[in-house]
Amino acid sequence: MKKIRVANSQRVFPVIVREEPEGGFVVSNPAIAGCHSQGDTIEKALKNITEATELCLEVMEEQEKPIISPAISLHLIHA
């Protein structure tokens, strides 16, 4: 079976970045369950979540799981 390079895909995913009190950043891709990463800087965290997303998509394709991004929206609230 020929492998498809996911990195060349036109998919766009939202990610959530959270600064940790101890330092560094944790980042999640809410469109893919369990897809998380981290980094010492925001730039490194974003690079790492891109790699994690590509790996998750690769595994999903190999396991023939559908790659469906749920509808995600951002809402701001006042509290």
Residue 56 contacts by C-beta under 8 Å, 6 or more apart in sequence?
29, 32, 34, 35
Domain ranges of the chain: 14-62
pLDDT tens per residue across span 25-63? 999 998 898 999 999 999 999 999 999 999 999 999 898
72 versus 33: the higher-pLDDT residue is 33
What's the mean pLDDT when you consider all of the chain?
A: 85
With contact defined as beta carbons under 8 Å apart, do 60 and 4 qualify? Answer: no
Q: What distance in Å separates the CA atoms of residue 48 and residue 58, rounded to the nearest whole number? A: 15
Q: What angle do CA 7, 39, 75 make, to 5 degrees?
A: 80
Half-sphere exposure of 73 (CA within 13 A, CB side): 4
Average pLDDT of 21-27?
Answer: 97
